[in-house]
Every structure is written in structure tokens, then in C-alpha cells.
Copies of this chain bind each other. A is one copy, B any other.
Amino acid sequence: MEKEISRAVIRRMPRYYRYLGELIDAGVERISSNDLSSRMNVTASQIRQDLNNFGGFGQQGYGYNVKYLYEEIGKILGLSEKHNIIIVGAGNLGQALANYVEFEKFGFRIIALFDVNPKLKGQSIRGIGIHMLDELDAFIRKEHVDIAALTVPKANADTIAAHLVELGIPAIWNFAHVDLKLPDQNVVVESVHLSDSLMQLSYNIAKNKKE
């Protein structure tokens, strides 16, 4: 378990986790890597290889116990811990994130939003309060926060992110259109770059036309 697992493997684990969750909902108890493979559009050998990084979980010719595998992958992904999230930036995107009930299924709980827009003061989304940004410090000192989602304009992103790190937030989920420059390397950053994703799409559109 102590060896370095490649980013590509880690990137596939949430997908396994989601699929196994759907199988549990559908009452499936056991699945072969072949069946999992055809559902997920990944080769069976890729699945076996990926899971072997964590010690296997399957028995030759007997397939995987769906619930067990789901729970083990959940542990690998750190989902046995609950995570409290705050959203900094309560514009459309921040509000969209606050509306996603899906995250709660995986133990991610959004506990507050913050913004500078005084019109939003005292409003709430699904019962989650919108606070003013100047209340952030006091809030973080009082509440346990694991993750700050950053949905602010690009120009303010670095400053706010640095401040969040100063306040001891261990992880930033960055939606600003910029790769954050943070002094402290000890903070975990995951960026959702929507324009990068659009460029992947246009690459594949162009490739598709050529074929």
C-alpha cells in the first residue's frame, strides 16, 4: 500500500466507485472483471491491473464482491471520513455546487457559502446559509472545514486561496480559470478547468472529422 500509485490509476478509481455504487443499488452482489469491463468500457485486464495496485480484492474465476470492493475503494479514496465543504463565491457556479445533492451521498457536506455581494447576505440555498466574506475567518475558527471550493473570479483567486491556506484549510477545490500559485505546498489543490475540458472536446471533434 505504500508504493506510489500513478495519477492515471487514481483518476479511474472514482469511476469504479460510482459504477459499483450503481450495481449495489441494482442489487448486484458479485461481478466478474469481464462484466465490469463491458459496462465501464475499460478492458478487463486494465481493471485487474488497476485493482492489483491496492492488493487485488478478487479471486481468480470468482469475480469481485461488489459491496466489499465498493467499500475498499471508498477507503482508498478517503471516503470513510466525512468532509465539510465551504463555497467561496456564491455566484451561479457556487450556487450550482450548493444545489448538488449528489455530493452528500459520498460524504461531502456543504456547510456554508461566502460572497462579497451584500444582496446575498442572509439568503440560503437548500438551507445552507450565504455569509459575507468578512465573516470567513471567524467561521473557520469555529467550524471544522476540510475543503474550500473556490468559485470566485480569476483576478481574486490567488489572494483568497492564500488566505484560506493561512487559515489552515487543508484542501482547495479550484474553479477559477487559473492554476493557483500557493506558497505552502502542504495544501491539496484540485482544479476543475472548464476551458481545458472544452479544448479536449474540440480536439476530439477535429480528430473525428479527419477519421
A-side residues, CB < 8 A to B, are 8, 10-11, 13-15, 17-18, 40-41, 76-79, 81, 83, 91-93, 95-97, 99-100, 102-103, 106-108, 146-147, 154, 170-171, 173, 177, 179, 186, 188, 190, 192-208
Contact = CB atoms under 8 A, between A and B. Distances in A.
Contact of A201 (B41, B177, B190, B195): B190
Contact residues of A: prevailing secondary structure: helix
A181 B199 CA distance: 22
Nearest to A206: B78
B208 A186 contact: yes
B192 A192 contact: yes
Contact of A13 (B40, B78, B107, B203): B203
A103 B10 contact: no
Contacts of A8: 8
Given A188-B208, A205-B171, A199 B17 contact: yes
Contacts of A193: 14-15, 18
Contacts of A202: 77-79, 81, 83, 107-108
A18 B92 contact: no
A186 B103 CA distance: 31
A36 to B, nearest CB: 13
A187 B168 CA distance: 44
Contact of A188 (B79, B195, B204): B204
Nearest to A172: B201
Contact of A198 (B103, B199, B205, B208): B103
A13 B199 contact: yes
A204 B171 CA distance: 9
Contact of A106 (B96, B97, B186, B198): B198
Contact of A208 (B79, B91, B170): B170
